[in-house]
Structure 1
Amino acid sequence: MTTALDDGRNDPPEMLRCDLNETNVYPTLVLALRDMRTANRRDETTGAGPGNESWIGLSIAMTVLDTLTNRNELVGQRWESLLTSHRIDPADARLIYALRCSLLHGYGPPKPGSNTGNRKVLLTDDRFTFAIDTSHDRVALVSVPVFCGRLVERIVLAAWSGWDQTLVNTDLFDTKRPRHASP
């Protein structure tokens, strides 16, 4: 199965705006999306732009998805549940989870096996294909710009209200206090 909803030839999905504010306090979702978009050379606030093949952006995309998973399930189950609930085929969901694990533990694509449909996973910067193309017998092509700019953004927009709303203060120093105490 190919991720038919996430095709780079179609218009980008609506994306969550991640504006900066004067308080320097943000939900982790905003920070993660801004970082993923920055690594993929897209607009940090709107997500606009064609994207690139950045493995850093892809790794952050996996962090974004991981945070959206249901913490009451085992990690593999929660990934498959998240992805299949957003209309991704179970075989593609297993492949995405295998890619997530291989990036996390070895910073590279997974080896062919049962979780990849015995396919070699290749990462590409093709912006005019599917996020994951499994139409080939022995190869699964993962378009990094389409994966980050279509698949992840589509899922985030649909699931953002369930995101951990923990706030992070990005201002390391309170500008109202002196940074160093006087002797």
Structure 2
Amino acid sequence: MTTLADRGGAPLQRLHCAPHPRRDYLPIELAMRDMRSAHGRDPETGEGAGTRSWIGVCLGMIVLDTLSGTSAPAGRRFKRLLIEHGVDHDDATVLWIIRNSLLHGYGLPRPSDVRHRRVEVTGATDAFALDTGDPRMVRLSAPVFCSHLVERIAASVPHQWDTSLIHTHDELRHAGVRYVPPPGRGDHSG
């Protein structure tokens, strides 16, 4: 079971991701805004109940990936980030398996990959982010995973954010973006 802090109805700590007049954003700000939007939540404040959007869960996994750093192996650092923030080791492993299934195949893991349990993504808002209490089933609440677990971890580790900037050419509605590296990281643009 994920931490009690990651249950629908628990107190929340969220990042404020307001639009910037110069349109230069940290990658985490854009990812958080997109994750929130995918769940029907306010992109700036994160307010709203959320939905069972898989794309929102994928963006949440990307946020956690980014916050976990760049050291290898990726699975170890991803699980370490979760464990350091109160997620049980076994649940961190299940989240890593779900992350891989979603991001590499946009599907859910086979039962054999999660101790012969079926994985279900739900839209329940009064649930744990990840419920592993049933020996036959793993339930991932998409709205609670994104609005509680991901938001809680993102707000608690600002020192782990990528500080490069992404310049959006328009008001966060169009895909035209330009990469602005932090000082000392080269002169790349895309």
TM-score, normalised relative to structure 1: 0.89
Q: Give the corresponding residue for 1:10.
A: 10
- 1:111 equivalent in alignment to 2:110: yes
CA RMSD of aligned residues (A): 1.6
CA distance in 1, matches of 2:167, 2:40: 24
Letter in 2 for 1:9: G
Deviation at 1:173, TM superposition (A): 8.8
Q: Give the corresponding residue for 1:34.
A: 33
What's the CA shift string for 1:89-144, capped at 9, x where partnerless? 00000000001000011111111235x23321111001111101111011011100
Q: Give the corresponding residue for 2:188.
A: none
User: Number of aligned pairs?
Assistant: 172
TM superposition outliers: structure 1 runs of 4+ over 4 Å: none
Deviation at 1:2, TM superposition (A): 4.0
Q: Give the corresponding residue for 2:52.
A: 53
Unaligned runs of 5+ in 1: 175-183
Q: Is contact 1:68–1:159 with CA below 8 Å preserved after alignment?
A: yes
Indicate how the Cα distance of structure 1 residues 109 and 173 shifts in structure 2: closer, same or farther if over 3 A, else same.
Answer: closer
Deviation at 1:21, TM superposition (A): 1.4
Give 1:153's match in structure 2, choosing from 143, 151, 154: 151
CA distance in 1, matches of 2:132, 2:18: 36
Indicate how the Cα distance of structure 1 residues 123 and 21 shifts in structure 2: closer, same or farther if over 3 A, else same.
Answer: same
Matches within 5 A, 1:64-75: 64-75=63-74
Q: Is contact 2:166–2:177 with CA below 8 Å preserved after alignment?
A: no
SS in 2 for 1:134: strand
Letter in 1 for 2:5: L
Unaligned runs of 5+ in 2: 170-175, 179-190
Q: Give the corresponding residue for 1:96.
A: 95
Q: Identity of counterpart residues, as a percentage? A: 41
